[in-house]
Amino acid sequence: MAHIRIMATGGTIASRTGRDGATSAERAEKVAAGLSGRHGYSMQDLTNVNSFQLRFADVRGIAEAVRDAVADEGVDGVVITHGTDTMEETAFLLDLVHESPKPVVFTGAQRTADSAAADGPANLEEAVAAAAASQLRGAGVLISFAGQIFAARGTRKTHTLAANPFSGGVPVAHFIAGTLHVTAVPVRPAALPLPGEDFDNARVEIIHCALGTTPDLFTDAVRSGANAVVLAGTGTGNAGAGFAEAVQDAVRGGCPVILCSRVPSGPVVPAYGAGGGVDLVRAGAIPSGDLGPSQARMLAALLTSLPATQDEILQALTSGTARSGG
């Protein structure tokens, strides 16, 4: 029997619906009350808020708590209950800094704890089973939801209300009739350092491109002191008139620019001139590969707070694949 540390941060899985809407209210002991007991577990409350309220300092605290938990010889894996709104961001940050082979599994719920069809208990049961699975040692940080498990890197929330709102990452495993089937295990780069206090105040802005968008907001972000800017371009990573020049000015001034796509699926592949991805990269923008804007922002916040060079940011963006599993 494995022993799993369950860390609660709040979110829908811990929420109840009141007159003013759903708010996170239940502590870890209540969230875990329905577990079958197939594995041993201990509980720890870290925060108790909906995830759209989290700040970088909270994420740093979660990372430190996970580091301490996996250092405990009596702990075989960690489960973190978390709101789905920003789960992809916290999970990815933890994956960047996770050194232990012990699995760390995020889960949550789409329906509140007081819902007649609450999904939190089943999701938590599966997350505990995943964290206890010897086949997932070395898999890093995972997101387990509605019977499916994804690598944190590349996973996005792509639906507001679906039972499983996540897609885009490497499918690592799934449950069939309660049995875990592992299909791939991520090949992970060396862990980055844990975020320090400078991470709490890191400022990385996301600028979205659309038809006719001007670079004014981008330029304002740079001038007002952003540590880095994530440019969420159209298509394979494109932007309109004036953006290439604005990117060049930002990079020359010491502000890294990461080029992403606003499209939910697919990598950034610079292919177009006339202000498109080819010109943006030539101006100094760093292609994000498979990372969406929110995860690229977390990476940039961590690296610029260390700090890191332009080449180190590029290396971190281009690492992370998967190998087939059993």
Q: What is the 3-state secondary structure (H, E, C) of 162-204?
A: CCCCEECCCEEEEEECCEEEECEEEECCCCCCCCCHHHHCCCE
Any residues with CB less than 8 A from the CB of 132 and at least 6 apart, and which?
2, 4, 39, 76, 77
Q: The tokens 């007991």 sit on which residue?
A: 37
Residue partners of 272: CB distance under 8 A and separation at least 6: 235, 236, 238, 278
Q: Is 12 a catalytic residue?
A: yes
Q: Which two tokens stand for residue 312?
A: 């180190």
- SS3 call for 139: coil
Residue 84 annotated in active site: yes
Say how many C-beta atoms besides its own lie within 10 A of residue 44's C-beta: 15
Which position among 9, 47, 84, 236 bears the catalytic label? Answer: 84
Interhelix angle 293-305/87-97, nearest 10 degrees:
40
* Residue among 12, 86, 112, 219 flagged as catalytic: 12
Cβ within 8 Å of residue 311, ≥6 positions away: none
Query: Could you tell me which residues come within 8 angstroms of residue 8 by beta carbon, excluding any fewer than 6 positions away?
Result: 14, 27, 28, 31, 43, 44, 45, 46, 48, 80, 81
Pairing of the two strands 321-324 and 184-187: antiparallel
Collapse the DSSP code of 63 into the 3-class scheme (helix H, G, I; strand E, B; otherwise coil) and give the result. Answer: helix
Contact 161, 292 (CB under 8 A): no
Give me the residues paired with residue 176 across strands.
Answer: 179
Residues annotated as catalytic (active site), given as ranges: 12, 84
